[in-house]
């Protein structure tokens, strides 16, 4: 799946001369936690997050009253607190690469580019939705996790056995097993009972049932 299919399109953005107080109000109004910053030519030059805005505020131990704080924040501009070294991703990149970049850099979002043009933003919430769909979490059915021999055709045998019993695979996620000779697969199946699924697994050689739940 490519990023353009799951990203938030045409994200809300701000300009560098917007005040911190206005940026905070915009975040609250739109219920977002980060805002790309574009210059007057609509070129991406930074990003500001809710964390940046909180850090820009005075310490809880300040002696300033709320009116003085509001005044100071109205004079402080986004360009002074934004992150200028923005990591971006192309709209045609795959979602797992976006997830890797975010995890490796400990960030919660990536502006999505088409050339030099900002066309979207992908966040950790967007990736959670991909995760939910990949595991078929919104479907009722039987969820099994298998440890299978890393041999060509093992998954085909399982899929054929399920189909022959009238079952339907709504999701399949594969990952590395406990050693190089094994692959772990998580399958969501509809149309079959728990006992039917258990019986099917027993017919597949070199396959061990690790977990089964409805």
φ, ψ (nearest 5 deg) of residue 87: -90, 130
Domain carrying residue 58: 3-131
Same domain? For 103 and 170 the reply is no
Mean pLDDT along residues 19-40:
92
Same domain? For 59 and 104 the reply is yes
Same domain? For 142 and 107 the reply is no
73 beta partners: none
Task: Judge whether 78 and 16 are in contact, CB under 8 Å.
Answer: yes
Q: Which of 77, 104, 131 is the last residue of a domain?
A: 131
Task: Judge whether 20 and 58 are in contact, CB under 8 Å.
Answer: no
What pLDDT score does 65 carry? 47
pLDDT tops 90 at residue 60: no
Query: 192 or 63: whose pLDDT is higher?
Result: 192
Same domain? For 51 and 146 the reply is no
Residue 85 binned pLDDT confidence (cut-offs 50, 70, 90): very high
- The pTM assigned to this predicted structure is 0.76
């Amino acid at each position: 799946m490519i990023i353009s299919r799951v990203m938030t399109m045409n994200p809300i953005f701000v300009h560098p001369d917007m005040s911190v107080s206005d940026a905070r109000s915009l975040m609250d109004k739109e219920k977002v936690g980060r805002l790309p910053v574009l210059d007057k030519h609509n070129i991406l030059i930074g990003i500001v997050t809710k964390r940046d805005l909180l850090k820009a505020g005075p310490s809880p131990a300040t002696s300033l009253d709320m009116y003085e704080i509001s005044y100071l924040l109205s004079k402080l501009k986004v360009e002074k607190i934004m992150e200028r070294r923005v990591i971006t991703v192309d709209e045609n990149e795959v979602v797992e690469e976006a997830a890797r970049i975010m995890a490796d850099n400990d960030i919660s979002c990536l502006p999505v580019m088409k050339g030099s043009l900002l066309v979207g933003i992908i966040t950790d919430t967007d990736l959670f939705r991909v995760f939910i769909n990949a595991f078929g979490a919104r479907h009722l059915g039987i969820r099994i996790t298998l440890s299978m021999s890393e041999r060509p055709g093992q998954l085909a045998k399982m899929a054929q056995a399920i189909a022959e019993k009238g079952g339907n695979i709504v999701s399949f996620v594969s990952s590395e097993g406990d050693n190089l000779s094994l692959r772990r697969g998580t399958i969501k199946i509809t149309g079959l009972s728990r006992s039917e699924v258990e019986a099917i697994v027993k017919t597949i050689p070199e396959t061990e049932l690790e977990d089964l739940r409805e």
